[in-house]
Amino acid sequence: MRYRSCLTILLLVACHEGSGPAPSSTGSRDVVKQTVSELRHSPRLRIQIRLPDAAAASAGDLKLRRAIEEKIEHDRVGTIVEESTGFGYIDFTVEAENSVIAIPKLKAIIREAGLADRTAVEVKQ
């Protein structure tokens, strides 16, 4: 659907450029670059794991997060693009091709790690 919309925009720009008195190649290029950039945008999913206590993440917590991240990338669910920690949580962001397909796979990986009851998965805006 998004691809069809972007192609429609490109066609409208091309038709518009041909009908005006003096074509503006710079304006056309900017629209094309923006459209291609939007096509490349993949959804980002934030996974936040609450720690058992409100303390900072331990070395074991970070090792567990890294193991989950490696599993996500190994299974080609998505690519890890951000990671952070805070008091009482660890989190990371996955860029995926399709969030509808990726979310159930992420939840399955989290469930296998025994963390389903304290993990939230959300689409980042």
Q: Are 73 and 50 in contact (CB under 8 A)?
A: no
Q: Which parts of the chain register pLDDT below 70?
A: 1-28, 31-40
3-state helix, strand, coil in the chain (%, to 5): 55, 20, 25
DSSP secondary structure code for residue 117 in this structure: G
Task: Record the tokens describing residue 13, joined without a space.
Answer: 């720009």
Domain boundaries, the chain: 2-40, 44-123
Name the CATH superfamily housing domain 44-123: ACT domain (3.30.70.260)
pLDDT at 42: 84
